Amino acid sequence: MKRIITIALLLAIGLCLSGCVGQTASPNLSQTADENDVTQATESEVSTEMDKEETATPVSNTSEQTLALTIDGTTVDVSWENNDTVAELLAYAQNSPIVVNASEYGGFEQVGSLPQSFSRSDVQTRTQPGDIVLYSGNQIVVFFGSNSWSYTKLGHIEGLSADELNSLLDKDSIVIELRAES
């Protein structure tokens, strides 16, 4: 008996569902010609606006901002990477400079905590003196030696010799400042 009721219910559900398949909404026949014109005009305007947005040429900003790096009051030239992390650091620095108290670690790097975590795309890397990386999403590392680890590359200090990097970075602690600059 239970089996017959179950089969009957399944058949009823199947019939109900099959009646809904393939039906489309019927147009409102009471709509006037003027209403149709308005609907078509509105759809055309929306389409035109979307086309304009897709083909718009971005406005060039002549005063493009970049990050400036200062170590213990000395501004250094940096070739920054073009990645999401650097963009996030720049956006953060536009509100206020990022000041990091860094400590020497391992005799080859300065490491300091950032005010928040930033996105990361870590890759196994062999760093060189002058490299600037993000470690663990929330620490900035500036190298005066080399190391191999998984980091997100941020940039590289340009124009300083190994001796100049050692003089600047081979200390117990330093203050690193990142600020937005035009």
Inside any domain, residue 1: no
Q: Which of 173, 137, 166 is nearest to 152 (CA)?
A: 137
**What is the structure's pLDDT at 34?**
47
**What is the structure's pLDDT at 64?**
83
Domains of the chain: total: 1
Inside any domain, residue 99: yes
CATH number at residue 117: 2.40.100.20
Confidence of residue 9 (pLDDT cuts 50, 70, 90): low
Distance of alpha carbon 106 from alpha carbon 113, whole angstroms: 16
- Burial label, 107 (beta-carbon count in 10 A; 0-12, 13-18, 19+): exposed
Strands 66-71 and 131-135 turn out to be: unpaired
Inside any domain, residue 156: yes
Q: Per-residue pLDDT averaged across 39-52, rounded?
A: 40
What domain range includes position 80?
66-181
Give the burial string for 136-163 (b: 16+ CB within 10 Å, else e).
Answer: eeebbbbbbbebeeebbbbbbbeebeee
**Lowest model confidence (mean pLDDT) among 55-64, 117-126, 141-150:** 55-64
